């Protein structure tokens, strides 16, 4: 684990794509199971169509997400995780759980910090 720190290395690029604002949330949501586009959009509160589409394309390109098109009317597209995507999502869920469990601690830290600096 030394290459992540290098500017243009593949793992750092991947880390930035996954860690991007919507990447984490999309992966966490898909960790719950497959989603259709608009269902996923509703699950990830606040994401625009454009950003979700863009995020999913990136994740698909990186081999973390599978896009399955059913050419029915109306069209139906399902997104799900690949094997690698599952592993990444598991890791992210660990982080998310940790943070959810530490909300109080972080909130206290923030108050202390703000009080100190005035």
Partner DNA sequence: CTGTATCCCCTTTGATACTG
Partner DNA sequence: CAGTATCAAAGGGGATACAG
Binding site for DNA (CB under 7 A): 20-22, 36-39, 46-51, 53-54, 56-57, 67, 69, 74-77, 79
Work out what residue 68 binds among DNA, a copy of itself, none; the CB cut-off runs from 5 to 8 Å by kind: none
Let me know: does 92 contact 28? Beta carbons within 8 Å: yes
Give the other-Cβ count within 10 Å of 51's Cβ.
16
* Pairing relationship of beta strands 65-70 and 76-81 according to DSSP bridges: antiparallel
Give the other-Cβ count within 10 Å of 25's Cβ.
20
Which listed residue (6, 34, 68, 76) binds a copy of itself by CB under 8 A?
6
**Sign of torsion, CA 74 31 19 40?**
positive
70/109 with CB nearer a copy of itself = 109
Binding residues for a copy of itself, rule: CB under 8 A, are 1, 3-7, 10-12, 14-16, 18-21, 24-25, 28-29, 43-46, 60-64, 84, 87-88, 91-100, 102-103, 105-110, 112-114
């Amino acid at each position: 684990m030394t290459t992540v720190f290098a500017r243009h290395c593949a793992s750092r690029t991947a880390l930035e794509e996954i860690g991007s604002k919507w990447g984490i949330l999309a992966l966490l949501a898909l960790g719950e199971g497959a989603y259709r586009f608009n269902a996923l959009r509703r699950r990830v509160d606040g994401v625009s169509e454009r950003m979700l589409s863009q995020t999913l394309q990136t994740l698909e390109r990186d081999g973390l997400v599978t896009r399955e098109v059913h050419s029915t009317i109306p069209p139906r597209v399902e997104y799900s995780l690949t094997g690698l995507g599952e592993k990444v999502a598991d890791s992210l869920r660990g982080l998310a759980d940790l943070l959810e469990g530490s909300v109080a601690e972080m909130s206290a830290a923030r108050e202390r910090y703000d009080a100190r600096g005035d």
